[in-house]
């Protein structure tokens, strides 16, 4: 039996997509949550000096989207053909661009940097959110299935549904302009295995 181990900090962040893919697949895995104070000693032994990491029978893979793509292919949620897989990857890459664009706001909001969170929300986050959720809305509309690509769940549905859920928890009115993503989040999170994971995972602020 294959042994999967996901190593990340004790938060959702970039490690959550790997956890959710494994949960969706009903796959047992070792959820290794590394305390901040232990990280400096571990960091030099990692491929790129960062987390998350996936270990598959002891073999190590780094980078959150590489991990997600590998697991999604293993468990059949990477698209039903090569074209769908490419579309899924394009949405995942654009989502990463979105997170990079709004990163200054979230770094201040979460207490990792100093700055004016209200000003960053207005000038950085809201414009970036509206622009990119507009892009993602086009994929939802094009698929017509309630999923972002094709007619079944893929890992980018998990990725974006979790982010939508986090945004709704912080500011429910934010999604008023994109009600289709409220429906998308509910659809994705109604999956029995995902629902169980969300109910039983450790509670973290982000």
Task: Identify the pLDDT of residue 159.
Answer: 97
pLDDT in tens, 110-125: 888 999 999 999 999 9
Is residue 206 in some structural domain?
no
DSSP per position, the chain: ---EEEEE-SSSGGGHHHHHHHHHTT---EEEE--GGGHHHHGGGSSSS-S-EEEETTEEEESHHHHHHHHHHHTT-S-SSHHHHHHHHHHHHHHHHHHHHHHHHHHHHTTSS-S-HHHHIIIIIHHHHHHHHHHHHHHHHHH-SSSSSTTS--HHHHHHHHHHHHHHHH-GGGGGG-HHHHHHHHHHHTSHHHHHHHHHSPP---
Shared domain check, 110 and 59: no
**Domain range enclosing 52:** 4-75+193-200
pLDDT in tens, 40-89: 999 999 999 999 999 999 999 999 999 999 999 999 999 999 999 999 99
Query: 118 φ, ψ to 5°?
Result: -65, -45
Helix/strand/coil (H/E/C) assignment for every residue in 65-93:
HHHHHHHHHHCCCCCCCHHHHHHHHHHHH
pTM: 0.95
Shared domain check, 86 and 70: no
Task: Read off the pLDDT of each residue in 97-110 and give the average, rounded to a whole number.
Answer: 94
Q: At 115, which CATH number?
A: 1.20.1050.10
pLDDT in tens, 157-175: 999 999 999 999 999 999 9
Shared domain check, 65 and 15: yes
Let me know: does 92 contact 67? Beta carbons within 8 Å.
no
How high is the mean pLDDT of the chain?
97
Task: Identify the pLDDT of residue 110.
Answer: 86
């Amino acid at each position: 039996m294959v042994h999967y181990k996901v190593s990340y900090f004790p938060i959702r962040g970039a490690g959550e997509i790997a956890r959710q893919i494994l949960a969706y697949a009903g796959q047992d895995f070792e959820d290794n949550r590394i305390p901040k104070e232990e990280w400096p000693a571990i960091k030099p032994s990692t491929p790129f000096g960062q987390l998350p990491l996936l270990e598959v029978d002891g073999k190590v893979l780094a980078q959150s989207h590489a991990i997600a793509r590998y697991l999604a292919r293993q468990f059949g949620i990477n698209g039903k053909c090569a074209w769908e897989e490419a579309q899924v990857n394009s949405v995942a890459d654009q989502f990463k661009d979105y997170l990079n664009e709004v990163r200054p706001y979230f770094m201040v909001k979460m207490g990792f940097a100093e700055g004016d969170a209200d000003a960053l929300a207005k000038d950085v986050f809201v414009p970036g959110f509206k622009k990119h959720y507009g892009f993602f809305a086009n994929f939802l509309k094009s698929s017509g299935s309630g999923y972002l690509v094709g007619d079944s769940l893929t890992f980018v549905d998990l990725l974006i549904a979790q982010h939508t859920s986090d945004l709704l928890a912080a500011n429910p009115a934010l999604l008023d302009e994109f009600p289709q993503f409220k429906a998308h989040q509910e659809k994705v999170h109604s999956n029995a295995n995902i629902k169980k994971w969300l109910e039983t995972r450790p509670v973290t602020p982000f």
